A and B are shown apart, each in its own frame.
Chain A
Amino acid sequence: MIMEFLDRFFNLKIAVVDLAARETEILPLPRDVAAENLGGASLNRALFKQYREDDPLVLGVGPLTGSFAPGSCLMIATFRPFSDDGLCHTPLMLRAGPGLKFSGLDFLVIKGAATAPQKLVIAINTIQFLPAEDLINRSVPEVSEMIKLQHPARRYFTILTGPAADTGSPNAMVSLGTGGSLDKGGMAAWMAARKLKAIMFAGGGGLPFGANNLSLRGKMLDTLNAGRKTKGGGCLSVLGSIGLPEAVKSYIANSIKSVFACYNCPFPCMGYGVTSGLNRSGGKGSEPVMVMDHSGLTALAKTCGRQCLVLLGECQRLGLDPAAAALKFDPEMKIEELVQTARGLAGIGKDRQILSPGVDETSAFIRGDVPAEDFLKFGGGLPPILSGRKEKNPGLWTDRVAMTMILGVCPIIALRFPEISSKVLLEFISDDRAEREFLKQRLSASVQSL
Chain B
Amino acid sequence: MDLNTERQKHHTQNGEAEKGIFLVADDMFPRPKPDRNFLNQIRERRRPLIVFDPVKCTGCGTCEMVCSSRNGSPVVPSSASIRVIREERYGKNFAIYCQQCREPFCIQVCPLNAIEKGKDGIVRIDDMRCVDCGLCAMACPEAAPLVDPISGKVHKCDLCDGEPLCVAHCSEQALVFTGGKRFRWIRLLRWPIQLAAFLLLVVILMGSFCSFVAGTFQVSCPLGVLQNIASTRMLILVSAIAAIPLMLLTVLGGRFFCGWLCPFGFFLDLMDKVIVKRLRLPGFLRTRSAKYGVLAASIGGSYALGYQAFCTVCPIGTLCRAYGVQSVFKGYELAILPAVASLEIGDRRSWCRYYCPVGALLALAARIGLIKIVIGARKCKKFSCMRCADICPMGIVDRRELIEGISPRLAMEECIFCMRCIDQCPYGAVKIRFRWQKAMPGEQV
Contacts and interface: CB of A to CB of B under 8 A. Distances in A.
Residue among A141, A214, A272 having the largest count of chain B Cβ atoms under 10 Å: A214
Interface string B94-130: 0000000000000000000000000000000000000
B62 A264 contact: yes
Contacts of A155: 78
B60 A258 contact: no
A260 B79 contact: no
Contacts of B88: 144, 177-179, 288, 290
Contacts of B66: 214
Interface string B36-77: 000000000000000000010011111001101100111111
A264 B171 CA distance: 9
B150 A204 contact: yes
B75 A288 contact: no
A262 B84 CA distance: 12
A16 B171 CA distance: 38
B91 A258 contact: yes
Interface in A210-241: 211, 214, 217-218, 221
B215 interface: no
* Range for the number of chain B residues in contact with chain A: 20 to 34
A260 B93 CA distance: 8
Contact of B79 (A179, A206, A263): A206
Interface of A is mostly: loop
Contacts of A260: 58-59, 86, 91, 93
B266 to A, nearest CB: 46
A66 B75 contact: yes
A196 B353 CA distance: 65
Contact of A208 (B58, B75, B79, B149): B75
B89 interface: yes
B233 interface: no
B172 to A, nearest CB: 8
Given A66-B75, A261-B60, A263-B60, A272 B65 contact: no
A211 B171 contact: no
B97 to A, nearest CB: 16
A164 to B, nearest CB: 19
A267 B172 CA distance: 9
Contact of A218 (B77, B150, B169): B169
Interface string A151-191: 00111000000000000000000000111000000000000
A290 B74 CA distance: 32
A204 B78 contact: yes
B58 A259 contact: yes
B65 A268 contact: no
A274 interface: yes
B92 interface: yes
Contacts of A221: 171
B217 interface: no
B58 A268 contact: yes
Nearest to A217: B169
Contact of B60 (A203, A205, A264, A274): A264
Interface of B is mostly: loop
B90 interface: yes
Contacts of B73: 208
Nearest to B56: A259
Given A203-B77, A209-B75, A274 B91 contact: yes
A87 interface: no
Contacts, number: 89
A124 interface: yes
A290 B91 contact: yes
Contacts of A98: 77
Given A206-B68, A258-B91, A95 B61 contact: yes
A272 B315 CA distance: 58
Nearest to A207: B74
Interface string A94-111: 010010001000000000
B75 A68 contact: yes
A170 B392 CA distance: 64
A214 to B, nearest CB: 7
B75 A272 contact: no
B94 to A, nearest CB: 11
A205 B169 contact: no
Given A177-B88, A214-B169, A290-B88, A206 B75 contact: yes
A122 to B, nearest CB: 14
Contact of B76 (A206, A258, A268): A206
A288 B92 CA distance: 9
Contacts of A66: 75
B151 to A, nearest CB: 9
A179 B55 CA distance: 20
A257 B72 contact: no
B150 A124 contact: yes
B76 A205 contact: yes
Given A204-B78, A207-B74, A208-B74, A264 B89 contact: no
Contacts of A206: 68, 74-79
B150 A205 contact: yes
Residue among A257, A261, A267 having the largest count of chain B Cβ atoms under 10 Å: A261
B78 A262 contact: no
A144 B86 CA distance: 13
Residue among B62, B74, B172 having the largest count of chain A Cβ atoms under 10 Å: B62
B421 to A, nearest CB: 29
B90 A265 contact: no
Interface string A424-444: 000000000000000000000
Contacts of A290: 88, 91
Contacts of B89: 141, 178, 288
A106 B436 CA distance: 56
A341 interface: no
A274 B68 CA distance: 34
A207 B75 contact: yes
A394 interface: no
Interface in B167-192: 169, 171-172
Contacts of B79: 204, 206
A178 B86 CA distance: 12
Contacts of B90: 288
A243 interface: no
B63 to A, nearest CB: 10
Interface in A265-293: 265-268, 272, 274, 288, 290
Contacts of B58: 259-261, 265, 268
A303 interface: no
A211 B91 contact: no
Residue among B55, B88, B93 having the largest count of chain A Cβ atoms under 10 Å: B88
A78 interface: no
A404 interface: no
Contacts of B74: 206-209
Interface in A355-408: none
Contacts of B171: 221, 266-267
B78 A203 contact: yes
A90 interface: no
Contacts of B169: 214, 217-218
A214 B150 CA distance: 25
Contacts of A208: 73-75
Contacts of B91: 257-258, 260, 272, 274, 288, 290
B317 to A, nearest CB: 54
A258 B149 contact: no
A257 B56 CA distance: 11
18 contacts: A95-B61, A153-B149, A178-B88, A203-B77, A203-B78, A204-B79, A204-B149, A205-B78, A206-B75, A206-B78, A207-B75, A211-B72, A258-B92, A260-B58, A261-B60, A266-B62, A274-B91, A288-B89
Given A203-B77, A263-B60, A288-B89, 12 more contacts: A68-B75, A95-B61, A102-B78, A144-B88, A203-B78, A204-B78, A207-B74, A208-B74, A209-B74, A214-B69, A261-B58, A290-B91
Interface of B: 55, 58-62, 65-66, 68-69, 72-79, 86, 88-93, 149-150, 169, 171-172
Query: Which 3 pairs across A and B sit closest by C-beta, in order of nearness?
Result: A288-B91, A206-B76, A272-B91
